[in-house]
Amino acid sequence: MRIVLVEDNTVTRETLNLLLSGETTIDSVTTFGSGEELLAHIEYTAFDVLLVDLDLPGMHGSELIQKVKQMRPQVEIMVYTIFEDRENVFSAIKSGASGYILKGSSPRDLIESLQSLHQGGAPMSPKIARKVILEFQKVPDGDDNPLTSRESCIVRSIEQGLTYKEIAERFNISPHTVHTHIKNIYEKLQAHGRQDALKRARRIGII
């Protein structure tokens, strides 16, 4: 199995490169920091599996997935990201991803998921698999997520008990921007405070 990894975070990219390169079932790992960089070298790069983040500089991961599928339809594609909101999940799947694993999964889970993908499977983190199932079941309470990807991530950070300052540091934005996002979140969810927002977010599957 020959893997191309597209991940903009240098530490994450190098860590994954070391992890994947140490597996006997993986023949080669080629890494890129952006979708544009991969596309510039794709003509000279042989690979069977694309492991890609979604939050990339420049071209979004879903757009890259679509372009790679058009150029290399035989390549299997797995998303590896923090995003678990409906918008990103279904955008990636519709673009051509057959796997969707959340960052935070164990190294063994990631390796086994890549092997499953290469063998024709469609591995997904449990949270993602549930979202896909609920979409097809059309659960009455499962209204579409009105939040943006960033707003959804901020809601999950609030649930984890992070302060405005900690959220700002996590996403490299100002506390004022965090406050604006939270105000928008309350308005979109029609919530009357933190607990109400979390309750409504759980009901529609954001958290």
pLDDT at 180: 92
Q: How many domains does the chain have?
A: 2
Task: With CA atoms as reference, report the closest residue to 181 among 148, 204, 159.
Answer: 148
Give me the tens of pLDDT residue by residue for the chain, a chain 207 residues long: 999 999 999 999 999 999 999 999 999 999 999 999 999 999 999 999 999 999 999 999 999 999 999 999 999 999 999 998 888 898 899 999 999 999 999 999 999 999 999 999 999 999 899 888 877 765 444 456 788 888 989 998 998 888 989 999 988 899 899 999 999 999 988 888 888 888 888 887 787
Could you tell me which residues come within 8 angstroms of residue 154 by beta carbon, excluding any fewer than 6 positions away? Answer: 167, 171, 178, 181, 182, 185
My answer on whether 115 and 17 are in the same domain is yes
Q: Dihedral angle at the C-alpha atoms of 2, 10, 70, 88, nearest 10 degrees?
A: 120
Can you give the residue range of the structural domain that contains 182?
Answer: 149-203
Residue 91 sits in a domain of what CATH number?
3.40.50.2300
pLDDT at 114: 96
pLDDT at 131: 82
Q: Which of 82, 107, 137 is the last residue of a domain?
A: 137
pLDDT at 194: 87
Three-state secondary structure of 94-134: HHCCCEEEEECECHHHHHHHHHHHHCCCCCECHHHHHHHHH
Q: Are 109 and 95 in contact (CB under 8 A)?
A: no
My answer on whether 18 and 97 are in the same domain is yes
My answer on whether 99 and 23 are in the same domain is yes
